[in-house]
Homo-oligomer: A and B are copies of this chain.
Amino acid sequence: MTVNREIHLASRPQGWPTADNFRLVETEVPTPGPGQLVVRNQFMSVDPYMRGRMDDVRSYVPPFALDAPLDGGALGEVVAGEADGIAPGDTVLHGLGWREYALVDARSARRIDPDLAPVSAYLGVLGMTGLTAYAGLLDVAAMRPGETVFVSGAAGAVGSMVGQIAKLRGAGRVVGSAGSAAKVERLAGLGFDAAFDYHDGPVRDSLRAAAPDGIDVYFDNVGGDHLEAAIGAMRPHGRAAICGMIAQYNDTEPPAAPRNLALVIGKRLTLRGFLVGDHGHLRGQFVQEVAGWLREGRLSYDETVVDGIARAPEAFLGLLRGENLGKMLVRL
């Protein structure tokens, strides 16, 4: 264990990123100082929001630096260092992925119980991904029982949770969009009432067929024409929780849609963007409720796992192309 491998940002993508934007770099395994832990990462998360951090623009998180390791959600076993009640042998969740060994400030690590659920779940259904779905649906969009919910990117990590939580919380009808026939079939298995492949025709038409009486809540992971179709389908007082707009993250020109935004007036719609970080107060309630559904076998989750740090860029690029079912993870 003398070599640590990590992924650096070699150059900033213009439009769609490619393998050339990344570089695998060998360094030494770090030595912990006071209050620090060395974590041998077992899983790291790749997430759509990371695309935005590759651009050199001011946003809610600073951009990734060039010629430095990327970062993001990860978990692994503490192999050196002891602080804040965390010791070697513990499994911890932290924010320094994209590397095999991470030097972590103990105050920013959270110990997890590997016996309660497979550890990877803490990066997905029981982690930031799950809380994003839970908070966006129930807090931001304030879904009420009986309502019709539409979620885009529904076979992804967040979307598949949104649809299932909606059903478990009493939604009248849940509709999902996804990018392949296989994903659409999977959505039926997850309990969605209707689902469509957005390649099969204009989203507006597919949504109208899937939700002929309109929708009350839209959970947006995609943006663009999905958002436009949702605004068009919304019933009065509808709410959209805007979580992501993956359709346009790689666009070099700003998107023209939605062109029907004026409908928000007559229909009294609310469009609300959110970041999961603002909803940490829901974590306790979220973990209790979701862990209960998992125990009872009422909630399923998919994972797409890619092996090895060298393939982390490939996992990320695959995520942007929608090659994942459920949570996209790299096993280190």
Residues of chain A touching chain B, judged by Cβ–Cβ distance below 8 Å, are 52, 59-60, 223, 227, 236, 242-245, 248, 254-256, 258-275, 278
Contact = CB atoms under 8 A, between A and B. Distances in A.
B261 A258 contact: yes
Given A254-B259, A259-B255, A259-B256, A273 B265 contact: yes
4 cross-chain pairs, A with B, having the tightest CB-CB distances, nearest first: A264-B273, A254-B259, A265-B273, A60-B266
B258 A268 contact: no
Copies of the protein in its oligomer: 2
A270 B270 contact: yes
Contacts of A273: 263-270
Nearest to A262: B245
A271 B275 contact: no
A202 to B, nearest CB: 15
A267 B268 CA distance: 22
27 contacts: A52-B266, A59-B266, A60-B236, A60-B267, A223-B262, A227-B261, A243-B265, A245-B261, A245-B262, A245-B265, A254-B259, A255-B261, A256-B256, A258-B261, A264-B271, A264-B272, A265-B273, A265-B275, A267-B273, A268-B274, A268-B278, A269-B272, A269-B273, A270-B271, A270-B272, A271-B271, A271-B272
